[in-house]
Amino acid sequence: MAVAGAGIGCAMSAVVVPERLPGAPADRQSIGAWGMMLFIATEAAFFCQLLFSYFYLASIAPGAWPPDGAPQLGLVLPNTGLLLLSSGTMWWAERGIRQGKAWQLRSGLLFTFILGAMFLGIQVVEYRHQHFTPASHAYGSLFFTITGIHGLHVALGLVMNLYVQLLAWRRHVTPARHLAVSNVAWYWHFVDLVWIVVFTGLYLAPNLR
Amino acid sequence: MRLGSNRFRSPSVAILPFITACAQAPSFMRPAGQFGEREAWLGWVLLGISSVVVVVIAVLVLAAALRPRAGSPDLIRPAPGETTWITVGGAIIPALILAAAFVYSVVTTSAITSSQPPAAISILVTGHQWWWEVNYPGLQPAQSIATANEIHIPAGVPVRIELRSADVIHSFWIPQLAGKTDVIPGHPNLAWIQADTPGVYRGMCAEYCGSQHGNMGLIVVADSPDRFRVWRESQLASAVQPTDPDQAIGRAVFEHSPCVGCHTIRGTPALGKAGPDLTHLASRQQLAAGAAPNTRGFLAGWIADPQGIKPGNHMPRVPLTAQQLQGVLAYLESLY
Amino acid sequence: MANPPVDAATLARLERLWETPRGLRGILTTVDHKIIGKRYLITAFLFLIAGGLEAFVMRLQLSRPGEHLLSPDQYNQLFTMHGVTMIFLYAAPILSGFGNYLWPLAVGTRDMAFPRLNALSYWIFLFAGLFLYSSFLLGQAPNAGWFNYVPLAGAGFNPGLNIDFYVLGITFLGISTTVGAVNFIVTLLKLRAPGMSITRLPILVWGTLSTSFAVIFAMPALTVACIMLYLDRRVGSHFFDAAKGGSPLLWQHLFWIFGHPWVYIIVLPGISMASEILQTFTRRPLVGYSVLVGATIATTVLGFGVWVHHMFATGLPPLATTFFSAVSMTIALPSAVSVFAWIATIWHGKPVFRVPFLFVLGFIILFVIGGVSGVATAAVPYDWQLTDTYFVVAHLHYVLIGINVFPVIAAAYYWFPKMTGRMMSERLGRWNFWVMFLGFNLGFFPMHIAGLLGMPRRIYSYAPGMGWDLVNLVTTIGAGLFAVGILLFLINLVYSRRRGEPAGDNPWDAASLEWATGSPAPVYGFARIPHVESRVPLWEDRLSGIPGIRYELPPLDQDHETVGTSPLEGRLQAVLHMPSDSWWPLLLAVSMATATAGLLISLWTVSILGALGILGSVAGWLWPAPGSVAP
């Protein structure tokens, strides 16, 4: 019913109208995909402003920045690896449904979920080990806000992951039509990309100086 | 359409109040020193260009709309050459005008910043809600001057003002002497002023800073070099001793009242820093950052009910009997 | 060739498919872009009146020196809420209102790309506006100015709820704006009538298209700033605290990185509407269409590069201020080019002096005055004298009233027939125009002079003997006259709704697609989606002999359908199945409002309840409807 019936044979000569009008595409051309891309664009701008704030305050800091020395890399390096791996499993899951392998989709989503949840757990452990709090100084406020808001985005991605798993379980996802999977995958890759930038700016850069 | 023009029948009658206003107002259109003058010249040029542009465009719009047309078809077809206007009138001419304005603006900025000699007299001004703390730092406390809401400068030389904030963002502005410089906590700023002729120049806070932002004025008194020296000498002295019984009573009342928690009178036990220094209060022209003139009547009103004159300000009401108030007034009025 | 013959059975089917059910359920669940558009318009006009009343009371207080009508605290809340109301609750939503109702029709489709998201954006706007105004009931309306500088807006100097209302209300409202921008972008790029390539897009929608991208990139700066301020106030963080490594200037940067693009967002769609109206009343296609489109895009992009001009007095290094001064002057160029495009169009056209055209002429003049006063403030040393004075107040009102309000009133007169099927009174309209134009200039031109005479902004009163008495009195009188003009407009609206002359489909004989369907527009928009051959579809056959509009597609009356096309060429790509009435947008908006209220009063249970509501509503919203094919 989403595909209009045939019968456009009476088209006027100057215009080419296909015999069967196609139903809404489910790929990058679809309006659902556009919606997700624009949402990602605004979130990207959001993180840009957070990072701008960090680098602005760093540039005018009278003393050392970070004030308590560069952040430890012991936990965050492997944690970053976990998150990057989860992008891999998400890509693998999407590839699965494109090739018609529902099991690959579901196990890929599950692995992604587990890796993402581990990332958040390790981040909580890292928070506990910090010697400063958001109320210690501006750096502390920025550190916890930037990584915390990123963590909220990861958590949201996990909720979306569960939702898609539910859709898949109820057979609303097919090889031809799986926009929900693609959208969630793009979002997840975006969240990972943000983490790479946050990791480089907040963790790596101070350690390289 | 005569836009913004006065609508009175008799133009001269209308202009008279305007001229009076100009004479009274703290307006940079009557600059009194090189910084203000450079900014005013830039302003006049830009105003002139703006007025010409507005008139020319208005004439063009009206001419385009009202010009006589022979009977034309109902819908007019686009024709070649119609966009020439746009390129010439819309892009080239404005670009030239804007470029010229920009260059003049940069030249003015550069002239202003190059007139700021390092070895100039330097004054520290701290913005508070809602008054201006003024300090002339010396190498020792005995060589430093502290006053409030009134700055004395020698006429004819650039003076450097260091600006700090004790609380929120304020903005230091003496229109006839220079443009504004914001006063931002954590970001000390420098302002430069110069008055070529001796006189009194009004200023005010120019960044919304809370309920009494509108009553945070200050004045700059430009003196000849001799008078400035005399003023300096007198300000360096400690507070005068009371010379009659009323003043003595007043000083005693003052020293035993909560007033000493906020105010300093040098040479007495009053060492409070939260409010203005009162050592030479009587030498100042205004009270409460311009909220009232410095007369006995207004001083009485101010002490008896600060919230009445400046609602929301931080000075509390200190209950005094009539006799105590008379004494305090006599004392404070003696503090030249 | 308008309204091709479609048989009665098809029309009946279309009506049944697209109409909103009557009654409360219909009111709360509708996704009809025309109903949502009208709601936006009415609500935004109500906020205009509220903001106007706030201004009027302020003008009474300032009409003479030393007035005691208002206490300083009351005045400060009023001037803050006047700014917040006009800039956030009137100026953008009014443009969304026109956009929602008209843009789908103007590009030849039947609804916005995301109908339920459209409903959501209205509900959030309404709830956020009510949230902000509820602060008055507590006597704690925001009071640190519409740009809310710290530290004055921090917990130390503003311990009450005033600023919390501000940060939460503005952030909540920002969701509506962002979601609306996404909707406009996808609608305007993907849902056009086949054949409407990007160069055939009516000038009307270019402002919205361009500024919707600006919203996507600018709004987050404000959200970040508000989150940081909320945390500073409630959690003891130090983003803006100079003593602990923060900076009050960080707020200013973030705010103006949002704020400057925002002021273009609230005027560029107005400019585009004015261009469209100009085209109709000069009886010819616009001269310099490409130039006008280019100017719109250039202004939008450059608008991201000027924000520091709000901070010239903060003591930034001269290199920075010089750069931003240069860009601020450059941004005048696209505007100058546009003015000459309009002059050329009028010159080479045949003006028809109906009321909408009068308002467009007034708009051009006010635009130029506002523009030159803006260029004045772009010169850094001059700005050091002008900033934070009434000169800037004059400038901002010339640009906001000149480039938003005047085009909006023009648009109201112009599209009232399309929305209601009736014409507004032409006679009352002329009175409306002259009273508004003269009142506005009488009120606001003297403010330039007040600024030059040294009167700073945001003062609740002034002493006699400052030389400011006359200009303030004249301004108050002018403002009163301007208010009478607005009243005339409202009277005309109400009167014409009932007694206006019936309008046909195209009473102005205009060129764009929305005039190819009935007045008021039928619930299904177009009985048959047209195929478009020209930038001026309804004029093309008279201009060149080629029909500008053809009907080839079937009526698409089997379901809630419209077509999707490619973004640049407008090539037909698909039939799109649109969602119909739904409870989810309202439920989601209510959940968001609950969460916001919880954050205001620091009751975490309320916020968590709201958050759960949000998750549940979104889950329900996105779940595929039974029987439909999943996306």
DSSP C134-180: HHHHTT----STTTT-TTTTSTTT--SSHHHHHHHHHHHHHHHHHHH
Q: Does some domain include residue C597?
A: no
Dihedral over Cα of C35, C37, C39, C41: its sign: negative
Q: Does some domain include residue C589?
A: no
**CA C234 and chain centroid, separation:** 32
Q: Does some domain include residue A17?
A: no
Whether C622 sits inside 8 A of A163 (CB atoms) is yes
C-beta of residue C233 within 8 angstroms of C-beta of residue C154:
yes
What are the tens digits of pLDDT across the range C116-172? 999 999 999 999 999 999 999 999 999 999 999 999 999 999 999 999 999 999 999
Which chain C residues are Cβ-neighbours of B94 within 8 angstroms? 332-333, 336-337
**pLDDT at res. C625:** 79
C-beta of residue A137 within 8 angstroms of C-beta of residue A58:
no
Q: Residue A23's beta-bridge partner residues? A: C575
Q: How many pairs of residues across B and C have Cβ atoms under 8 Å apart?
A: 294
Mean pLDDT score of chain C: 95
**CA A93 and chain centroid, separation:** 15
Q: How many pairs of residues across A and C have Cβ atoms under 8 Å apart?
A: 187
pLDDT band of residue A5 (cuts 50, 70, 90) is very low
What are the tens digits of pLDDT across the range B19-54? 666 667 899 989 999 999 999 999 999 999 999 999
- Name, in order, each residue with C-beta under 8 angstroms of C504's C-beta and a sequence gap of 6 or more: C519
Q: Does some domain include residue A77?
A: yes
Chain C residue with Cα closest to A15 = C552
Is C236 exposed, middle or buried, given 0-12, 13-18 or 19+ CB atoms closer than 10 A? Answer: middle
Mean pLDDT score of chain A: 88
Helix, strand, coil % over all residues of chain B, rounded to 5: 40, 20, 40
Q: Is the pLDDT of residue B326 over 80?
A: yes
Chain B residue with Cα closest to C437 = B3
Q: Which of C619, C537, C608 is nearest to C584 (CA)?
A: C619
Q: Does some domain include residue A15?
A: no
Q: Is the pLDDT of residue C523 over 80?
A: yes
- Residues making up chain A, counted from first to last: 209
**Going by DSSP bridges, is the β-strand pair B121-128/B159-165 parallel, antiparallel, or unpaired?**
parallel
DSSP labels, C473-533: HHHHHHHHHHHHHHHHHHHHHHHHHHHSPBP-S-TT---SGGGGS-SSPPTTS-SS--EE-
Mean per-residue pLDDT for C238-262? 97
Q: Does some domain include residue A8?
A: no
Rg (CA), chain C: 25
Which chain B residues are Cβ-neighbours of C243 within 8 angstroms? 185-186
- Name, in order, each residue with C-beta under 8 angstroms of C525's C-beta and a sequence gap of 6 or more: C18, C104, C105, C109, C110, C111, C517, C562
Q: Is the pLDDT of residue C297 over 80?
A: yes
**CA C435 and chain centroid, separation:** 24
Domain coverage including residue C489: 8-15+33-581
Q: Is the pLDDT of residue C425 over 70?
A: yes
Q: Does some domain include residue A140?
A: yes
What are the tens digits of pLDDT across the range C440-463? 999 999 999 999 999 999 999 999
Q: How far apart are CA B187 and CA C250, in angstroms?
A: 12
Q: Does some domain include residue C488?
A: yes
C-beta of residue B253 within 8 angstroms of C-beta of residue B334:
no
**Which among C145, C157, C246 is the nearest to B167, CB-wise?**
C157
Angle between helix C469-499 and helix C406-420 axes, rounded to 10 deg: 10
pLDDT band of residue A24 (cuts 50, 70, 90) is low
Q: How far apart are CA C48 and CA C404, in angstroms?
A: 12
Chain C residue with Cα closest to B7 = C442
Which chain B residues are Cβ-neighbours of C448 within 8 angstroms? 4
* A142, two tokens: 């920025």
Mean per-residue pLDDT for B292-318? 94
**pLDDT at res. B117:** 84
Give the torsion through C-alpha atoms of B6, B10, B15, B18, to 10 deg. Answer: -70
Q: Is the pLDDT of residue A6 over 50?
A: no
Share of chain C above pLDDT 70, in %: 99
Q: Which of C390, C91, C457 is nearest to C263 (CA)?
A: C91
Whether A53 sits inside 8 A of C239 (CB atoms) is yes
DSSP labels, C396-451: HHHHHIIIIIHHHHHHHHHHHHHHHSBPPPHHHHHHHHHHHHHHHHHHHHHHHHHH
Q: Does some domain include residue A127?
A: yes
Chain B residue with Cα closest to C466 = B25
**pLDDT at res. C394:** 98
Which chain B residues are Cβ-neighbours of C329 within 8 angstroms? 98, 101-102
User: In chain C, positions 364-403, which contact chain B (CB-CB < 8 Å)?
Assistant: 364-365, 368-369, 372-373, 375-376, 378-389
B200 lies within 8 A of chain C by CB: no
DSSP class of residue A65 equals S
Q: By mean pLDDT, which of A11-20, B133-142, C29-38, C285-294 is the weakest?
A: A11-20
Domain coverage including residue A129: 69-209
How distant is the Cα of C545 from the closest Cα of chain B, in angstroms? 12
CATH of the domain at C324: 1.20.210.10
Is C396 exposed, middle or buried, given 0-12, 13-18 or 19+ CB atoms closer than 10 A? Answer: buried
Name the domain count of chain C.
1
**pLDDT at res. A8:** 28
Whether A38 sits inside 8 A of C185 (CB atoms) is yes
Instruction: Report the run of H or E that residue A92 belongs to, with start and end.
Output: helix A76-98
Give the torsion through C-alpha atoms of C594, C595, C597, C599, to 10 deg. Answer: 170
Q: How far apart are CA B326 and CA B299, in angstroms?
A: 11
CATH of the domain at A83: 1.20.120.80
Q: Does some domain include residue C141?
A: yes
**pLDDT at res. B18:** 63
What are the tens digits of pLDDT across the range C339-360? 999 999 999 999 999 999 999 9
Mean per-residue pLDDT for C553-573? 91
Q: Does some domain include residue C297?
A: yes
* A72, two tokens: 């430890």
C-beta of residue B147 within 8 angstroms of C-beta of residue C352:
no
Q: Which of B182, B186, B201, B168 is nearest to B27 (CA)?
A: B201
Q: Does some domain include residue A171?
A: yes
How distant is the Cα of A138 from the closest Cα of chain C, in angstroms? 5
Name the domain count of chain A.
1
Highest mean predicted confidence (pLDDT) among B13-17, C2-6, C255-259: C255-259
Q: Does some domain include residue C591?
A: no
Helices (H) and strands (E) counted in chain A, each on its own, are 6, 0
Q: Does some domain include residue C28?
A: no
Q: Does some domain include residue A113?
A: yes
Whether A4 sits inside 8 A of C114 (CB atoms) is no
DSSP labels, B46-97: HHHHHHHHHHHHHHHHHHHHHS------SSPPP-TTTTHHIIIIIIIHHHHH
What are the tens digits of pLDDT across the range B193-234? 999 999 999 999 999 999 999 999 999 999 999 999 999 999
C629 lies within 8 A of chain B by CB: no
User: In chain B, positions 109-138, which contact chain C (CB-CB < 8 Å)?
Assistant: 109, 112-113, 129
Is C513 exposed, middle or buried, given 0-12, 13-18 or 19+ CB atoms closer than 10 A? Answer: buried
Chain A residue with Cα closest to C213 = A38
Output A13-21 pairs: Cβ under 8 A, ≥24 positions apart: A15/C194, A15/C195, A15/C531, A15/C550, A15/C552, A17/C552, A17/C553, A17/C572, A18/C572, A21/C553, A21/C563, A21/C572, A21/C574, A21/C575
Which chain C residues are Cβ-neighbours of A136 within 8 angstroms? 238, 244
**pLDDT at res. C627:** 64
Which chain B residues are Cβ-neighbours of C383 within 8 angstroms? 179
Q: By mean pLDDT, which of A7-21, C88-102, C370-384 is the weakest?
A: A7-21
How distant is the Cα of A74 from the closest Cα of chain C, in angstroms? 26
pLDDT band of residue A3 (cuts 50, 70, 90) is very low
Which chain C residues are Cβ-neighbours of B189 within 8 angstroms? 314-315
The tokens 């080629």 sit on which residue?
Answer: C546
Q: How far apart are CA C485 and CA C441, in angstroms?
A: 12
- Name, in order, each residue with C-beta under 8 angstroms of C351's C-beta and a sequence gap of 6 or more: B64, B65, B66, C281, C282, C357
